[in-house]
Structure 1
Amino acid sequence: MTHTLGIMQPYFFPYLGYFQLIASVEQGLLFDIVHYQRQSWMNRNRVLDAQGGWQYINVPVTLEQGRLIEHARVLDRPGALRRIKGQLEHYRKKAPFFRETLQVLERTFALCQSDSLTELNARSLQSVCDYLGMDFTWKRCSALQLPLPEISYAGQWALEISQLQNARCYINAPGGRAIFRPQDWLDRGIELRFLALTPLVYDPAPYPFVENLSILDVMMWNAPQTIMAFIREQTRVVP
């Protein structure tokens, strides 16, 4: 057992905490082998609106061949990109990194070679990490064809995958602690730990600050060096 592992569902331009997890593990997996949930972070996220509140940005999705996340397909990818760019237009004259952030968004959509939602979200993570100067080598669970046993409770997914991947330590995002059974991890000799996150507070004047918006909002107002310094200095892992 030689590495730390993180597992997350493939979210669409997720909040900063997702990237803090990426920075905290040596191996990561996009968990796309469970049922797709509509109106989830997999096909939408939040950014500021022009009135000082927040709004959803999203891509429309269909499930044509199955019910799993890996089966979700994006409808009208070019149209979704145009709509999201329109929703971000009010940032143009106010956010100092509007142009750079828009390029990350456009690059994400341009790199996609299929209508797979998992691919789009993987590209979003890759594009953001490239912009920030982070390594991103996460793989899709669906591509690994893991010989998983029957799963009897939600927290067992991560346990079984961790064992199959020879992980010595599994790190989870702050939420979901209740689904795990710590004794099961002790019995397998795998350390179970969690991120302890504090918000990156910044000034999006003339708009009010809203916590845990999409990484797109964070990048609009903060230089990549500022974001990376926060990730390095403020990310903690706890039992």
Structure 2
Amino acid sequence: MTGKLTIAVMQPYFFPHAGYFRLMAASDVFVVFDDVQFPRRGRVHRCEMTPGRWLTLPLAPMPFDTQIKDLRWADGARTALDKRLAAFGLPGQATTPAAERISRHLTGSLGDVTSFLENGLRLVADALELKANILRSSSLGVDPALRGQARIIGIVRALGGQRYINAAGGRHLYATENFQQAGIDLQFLVPYAGRFPHILPAFFGNNLADLRDDVRNTCQWGP
């Protein structure tokens, strides 16, 4: 980056739109925010394939306050996911090494939920040639009593970061003066207006070079 260790923190989304990966392009360390409550209406467990149509992971019912790192698969999850993939014609015929790796990920052993989500992000990051170091927030020993922006500041401090970068949608969550008092620059990306709101179809449609360009060209910081 530009001399300041830049940190991004984001929940592990299930194959999100290309704009998500700009946080990896803009940061030195990308923190998978896994020790936070699972948002049931978010994108941790579902991927939009076409406008309004979602590929949803088969998760076990769990208490409302369950953290992402404690998510579990439903019984018969492998079979259920295979049926859901088939409904979208996936994995289909993968004609590039990146698509082949994603295909094996989607159809292979599920392991634990958080690792499945993180490994999917890593596969995309590798394919897009993004160099951010990826690690989990639960590995940092940050005080679990911290909430909201105080928790983010704690994460950045634990990593020795001097800059925190977030998606444009996070502007209402954070106060610049609080980060400044902690010795941290707060920056936001501009809203994503690129070509790839649906990343899995793009991978299987052989758009890897275009995806790379899209992430690079739209990775701009806002005022």
TM-score normalized with structure 2 length: 0.84
The answer for the alignment partner of 2:207 in structure 1 is 223
Q: Does 1:150 align with 2:145?
A: yes
The answer for the alignment partner of 2:88 in structure 1 is 88
Q: How many angstroms apart in 1 are the aligned matches of 2:90 and 2:62?
A: 35
**More strand by percentage:** 1
Taking the TM superposition and a 5 Å limit, the aligned residue runs for 1:80-229 are 80-89=80-89, 99-100=95-96, 103-109=100-106, 114=111, 116-135=112-131, 137-146=133-142, 148=143, 150-151=145-146, 154-201=148-195, 212-213=197-198, 215-221=199-205, 223-229=207-213
Question: How big is the shift at 1:216?
Answer: 0.8
Q: How many angstroms apart in 1 are the aligned matches of 2:109 and 2:6?
A: 29
Taking the TM superposition and a 5 Å limit, the aligned residue runs for 1:44-63 are 44-48=46-50, 53-62=51-60
Instruction: Report if aligned partners of 2:94, 2:103 keep a CA contact under 8 Å in 1.
Output: no
The answer for the alignment partner of 2:67 in structure 1 is 68
Question: How big is the shift at 1:47?
Answer: 0.7
C-alpha distance after superposition, 1:134-153 (max 9, x if no partner): 3353111112322x27335x
User: Residues 199, 139 of structure 1: CA spacing in aligned structure 2 closer, same or farther, 3 A cutoff?
Assistant: same
C-alpha distance after superposition, 1:173-214 (max 9, x if no partner): 11121111111111111100011134223xxxxxxxxx733x
TM-score normalized with structure 1 length: 0.79
The answer for the alignment partner of 1:205 in structure 2 is none
Number of matched residues?
Answer: 218
Instruction: Report if aligned partners of 1:30, 1:140 keep a CA contact under 8 Å in 2.
Output: yes
Query: What one-letter code is carried by the residue in structure 2 that aligns with 1:74?
Result: W
Q: How many angstroms apart in 2 are the aligned matches of 1:84 and 1:38?
A: 19
User: Residues 184, 88 of structure 1: CA spacing in aligned structure 2 closer, same or farther, 3 A cutoff?
Assistant: same
Unpaired segments of 5 or more residues in structure 1?
202-210
Question: How big is the shift at 1:163?
Answer: 1.6
CA RMSD of aligned residues (A): 2.8
Q: How many angstroms apart in 2 are the aligned matches of 1:120 and 1:234?
A: 27
Q: How many angstroms apart in 2 are the aligned matches of 1:113 and 1:54?
A: 26
Q: How many angstroms apart in 2 are the aligned matches of 1:102 and 1:44?
A: 19
Query: What one-letter code is carried by the residue in structure 1 that aligns with 2:27?
Result: V
What percent of counterpart residues are identical? 23
Query: What one-letter code is carried by the residue in structure 2 that aligns with 1:139?
Result: L
